A and B are shown apart, each in its own frame.
Chain A
Amino acid sequence: ILNVEQSPQSLHVQEGDSTNFTCSFPSSNFYALHWYRWETAKSPEALFVMTLNGDEKKKGRISATLNTKEGYSYLYIKGSQPEDSATYLCAHPWGKFYFGSGTKLNVKP
Chain B
Amino acid sequence: DAGVTQSPTHLIKTRGQHVTLRCSPISGHKSVSWYQQVLGQGPQFIFQYYEKEERGRGNFPDRFSARQFPNYSSELNVNALLLGDSALYLCASTPVGHYEQYFGPGTRLTVT
Residues of A within 8 A of B (CB): 1, 4, 6, 32, 34, 36, 41-46, 49, 89, 91, 93, 95-102
Q: Name the prevailing secondary structure of the B interface residues.
A: loop
Q: Which residues of A contact B102 (CB under 8 A)?
A: 43, 46
A96 lies within 8 A of B56 (CB)? yes
* A43 and B33 alpha carbons, distance in the complex (Å): 14
What's the count of A-B pairs with C-beta under 8 Å? 54
Q: Which residues of A contact B43 (CB under 8 A)?
A: 44, 89, 97, 99
B58 lies within 8 A of A96 (CB)? yes
Q: Which residues of B contact A45 (CB under 8 A)?
A: 103
Q: Name the prevailing secondary structure of the A interface residues.
A: strand
Nearest-neighbour CB distance to chain A for B54, whole angstroms, equals: 12
Supposing A42-B105, A43-B104, A49-B100 touch, asked if A97 and B40 sit within 8 A by C-beta, the answer is no
Supposing A32-B99, A42-B105, A43-B103 touch, asked if A98 and B40 sit within 8 A by C-beta, the answer is no
Interface centre among B40, B42, B56, B105 (most CB of A within 10 A): B42
Known: A34-B99, A89-B42, A89-B43. 10 other contacts (CB 8 A): A32-B99, A34-B100, A43-B3, A43-B4, A43-B104, A93-B99, A96-B33, A96-B58, A97-B43, A99-B35
Nearest residue, chain A, Cβ from B56: A96
Nearest residue, chain B, Cβ from A36: B103
B45 lies within 8 A of A49 (CB)? no
